[in-house]
Amino acid sequence: MRVLFASSEVFPLVKTGGLADVSGALPAALIEAGQDVRVLLPGYAGAMAKAENKQPAGSLGDPLGVGAEARLVSATLPGSGVPVWLIDCPELYDRDGGPYQDANGFDYEDNALRFGLLSWTAAHLCTEGSPLAWRPDVLHCHDWQSGLAPAYLKAWNVVDRPATVFTIHNIAYQGQFPPDTVSRLGLPWDMYTMAGLEYWNTLSFLKAGLVYSDRLTTVSPRYAKEIQSAPFGCGMEGVLASRAADLTGFLNGADYGVWNPADDAYIPHKYQPADFVAGKAANKAAVQAELGLAQDPEAPLLVIVSRLNDLKGMDLVLSVMPAILQQGCQLAVLGAGDHSLEDGFQAVAAVNPSQVAVSIGYSEPLAHKLMAGGDMLLMPSRFEPCGLTQLYAFRYGTIPVVHVTGGLADTVVDTTYDGLMTATATGFAFEHANAGAFQWTIERALDTFRQKDPWRKVQSSCVCQDFSWNRSAERYIALYRALAG
């Protein structure tokens, strides 16, 4: 089966979150299972620099009238060798800042064109006009940035088109633009209706993906149900409920080639997951030293590796800080996001430097060190489509403390008496996203932490969890087969 992925982020070329991890690791698992998968992404400057085996692969012309020719470049992903195509168009993609926002955190004004071109190219590669001989059986789009691709196929009336699958990684991000974007992107006005591209007087890339794709998936079974009602659907619940028969939730996997303490180039003390005690202690001491925290093996080290926003429940963390610091905890935060939350965390760290360390920004090495050195990973997300960091934490013997939602509900088993006795408990979970419930759950975790045996028992269950990608890959392959023979 030939499958074309279209995604705005692919690890290790460009990453702001879990979408990149999935777009890098799932194709590798599908290829391993015998499928012919290629990934299309924008040729951001950083991605172009990191991609290996680059070759020109043909011209795309200037379909959206940006005043410059776009060219396709074929390449491979470092590490896995997964084949990719980058859209080389420096006018749109060679920018200071991230994939979506400038260095000051503002969305680029021409994001409709930048991701319109990604969508247009994904669709174009499925037609006779493609500069490539390779044609997909399935076009698999991810999140709003590639949502217009199925709409282009519909608009062009492509008869012999591939099957289309659209995966929702996070429904809160929708890609809405003013109505005149419709003609700017060469789409016909008769598709700008309530049953099509229009959403509250805007053009919605996400809605286009939801309406015009053959099948919809999301990244956990629980989230697939949640988004069919408010508030989880973020306004798309009606559209999704009408497509309930075509919507499935497949849990994401963890790439143990990247996230494995036995073989992690970023951590100072490697250890086998099954033999974590000494290794974790050494990594914890190293984190405390690197971040200037008190060198105290007994102080519970709580870690966060996350985008900093209210969806991730980071305001709840700030609310419970006084109480958890009073309990003698240490907190190490790595993240970036809302400036008010960044300032809030930095202010707490300034007053309590031996207990709180805050690193604002993006750091792959520190993310790995915190996974290895932490005792608990805090994830009080209000919504969490899947969440990957809790899966990584498991493998390092770091116990997640989570709100029961989306993929967190599907992957973390609360430490109840039964959970402990049956060795199924893998974390601490709370039902209601409020500071009181979160604080009480951290305190419950701290009680267990202080009694070393049950804590070790939960850690032992965590490290045994297997969320390898091959299981999810089989589910996607079955879906592709059902659609495209």
- Which residues sit at the interface with ligand ADP, rule CB under 6 A? 17-19, 21, 305-307, 334-336, 362-364, 367, 386-389
Please check whether residue 29 is in contact with residue 473, taking contact to mean a CB–CB distance below 8 angstroms. Answer: yes
Report how far Cα 273 is from the mean position of its chain's Cα atoms. Answer: 24
From the list ligand GLC, ligand ADP, none, partner contacted by residue 364 (C-beta under 5 to 8 A by kind): ligand ADP
Is residue 139 close enough to count as binding ligand GLC by CB under 6 A? no
One residue of 126, 138, 386, 402 binding ligand GLC per CB under 6 A: 386
Is residue 227 close enough to count as binding ligand GLC by CB under 6 A? no
CB closer to ligand ADP out of 402 and 413: 402
User: What are the residue ranges of helices labelled H in 298-388?
Assistant: 314-326, 339-351, 364-373
Integer Cα distance of 68 and 89 in angstroms? 7
CB closer to ligand ADP out of 44 and 120: 44
Q: Residues touching ligand GLC: how many (CB under 6 A)?
A: 14
Integer Cα distance of 446 and 426 in angstroms? 14
Q: How far is the CB of 189 from ligand GLC (least distance, A)?
A: 32
Report how far Cα 346 is from the mean position of its chain's Cα atoms. Answer: 25
Strand, coil or helix: what is 95?
coil
Q: How far is the CB of 304 from ligand ADP (least distance, A)?
A: 9
* DSSP-derived pairing of the beta strands 176-177 and 202-204: antiparallel
In Å, how far are 287, 337, 353, 360 from 311, measured between CA atoms? 27, 11, 27, 18
Please check whether residue 41 is in contact with residue 9, taking contact to mean a CB–CB distance below 8 angstroms. Answer: yes
CB closer to ligand GLC out of 174 and 181: 174
**What are the percentages of helix, strand and coil residues in the chain, rounded to 5?**
40, 20, 40
CB closer to ligand GLC out of 19 and 112: 19
Tell me the HSE value of 149 on the side-chain side, using a 13 A CA sphere. Answer: 37
**Hey, what are 277's tokens?**
């005690």
Strand, coil or helix: what is 451?
coil
Residue in the shown chain whose Cβ atom is closest to ligand ADP = 18
Is residue 219 close enough to count as binding ligand GLC by CB under 6 A? yes
CB closer to ligand GLC out of 24 and 397: 24
From the list ligand GLC, ligand ADP, none, partner contacted by residue 214 (C-beta under 5 to 8 A by kind): none
Is residue 313 close enough to count as binding ligand GLC by CB under 6 A? no
CB closer to ligand GLC out of 170 and 288: 170
Is residue 19 close enough to count as binding ligand GLC by CB under 6 A? yes
Is residue 387 close enough to count as binding ligand GLC by CB under 6 A? yes
CB closer to ligand GLC out of 254 and 321: 254
One residue of 146, 252, 398, 472 binding ligand GLC per CB under 6 A: 252
Please check whether residue 98 is in contact with residue 42, taking contact to mean a CB–CB distance below 8 angstroms. Answer: no
**Hey, what are 77's tokens?**
């992903």
- Only one residue has tokens 């930048």, namely 114
- Radius of gyration over alpha carbons of the chain, in Å? 23
Is residue 388 close enough to count as binding ligand GLC by CB under 6 A? yes
From the list ligand GLC, ligand ADP, none, partner contacted by residue 219 (C-beta under 5 to 8 A by kind): ligand GLC
Is residue 169 close enough to count as binding ligand GLC by CB under 6 A? yes
Binding track, positions 406-425, relative to ligand GLC; x by CB under 6 A: -x------------------
Is residue 233 close enough to count as binding ligand GLC by CB under 6 A? no
Q: Could you tell me which of 340, 301, 334, 295 has the C-alpha nearest to residue 318?
A: 340
Across 45-114, the runs of DSSP E, i.e. the strands, are: 52-61, 70-76, 83-88
Integer Cα distance of 349 and 335 in angstroms? 14
Report how far Cα 375 is from the mean position of its chain's Cα atoms. Answer: 23
CB closer to ligand ADP out of 40 and 251: 251
Residue in the shown chain whose Cβ atom is closest to ligand GLC = 18
- Contact segment (CB under 6 A) with ligand GLC among 16-24, 132-140, 242-250, 294-302 equals 16-24
Q: How far is the CB of 198 from ligand ADP (least distance, A)?
A: 28
Q: Which residues bind ligand GLC (CB under 6 A)?
A: 17-19, 22, 169-170, 219, 252, 384-388, 407
